[in-house]
Amino acid sequence: LSSTLLYIHDDCGLPTDVIVMLVQYAKEQGKDNTHYIESTGRAWAQEGILSHEAAEQKLRYLDESGKAWRTVERALGIAHRRPSQKEQEMAGRWVNTWHFDDGMLREAYDRCINATGKMSFAYINRILERWQREGIHTTEQARKESAKPASTGESAAPSYDIDAYEKMSQWELLHKEE
């Protein structure tokens, strides 16, 4: 461990107080092995986390991101696992930036499942992004919004599929001639 700490200090340029904060964070995460500490120290140096203030900000961000992910896991019924970078970013945006609660996350999840038959973070993100843009922040508002007819100016979808009918008619014409 001492050679790792010297490497992070001498070669990466992390000050001693930042290294102490990094080691404490690693221990709290249950990742206090030399490989994790070294790779995280190198990453922090590349990100420019070279002061006590920058390390505090990074640790606050990591803590908030972790809480956001746990909120998303709980709301969507995801088994506890480590999120991908993209999932972590979305969770942070949904919970910390847009301030959606468990109910809104669950509502978006339900709509995704009903529309696609599977969970898709990208689809859920589009729903939440639209709600954020339109000022929809409660499940009651979301449910009222979904009950409204589409106001796109287009008429309701017909109960028939003209393309399928034309294909069927062409097939019948071809086979009638035989």
Phi, psi at residue 120, to the nearest 5°? -140, 115
Residue 160 pLDDT greater than 70, yes or no = no
Residue 154 is predicted with a pLDDT of 45
Residue 165 pLDDT greater than 80, yes or no = no
**Closest C-alpha among 56, 65, 66 to residue 24:** 56
Give the Å distances, CA to CA, from 55 to 24, 109, 165: 12, 35, 64
Residue 116 is predicted with a pLDDT of 92
Q: What pLDDT band is residue 84 in, cutting at 50, 70 and 90?
A: very high
pLDDT in tens, 52-75: 999 999 999 999 999 999 999 999
Nearby residues of 105 by Cβ (< 8 Å), 6 or more positions away = 71, 72, 75, 76, 94, 95, 124, 128
Residue 129 amino acid letter: E
Query: Mean of the per-residue pLDDT values for the chain?
Result: 86
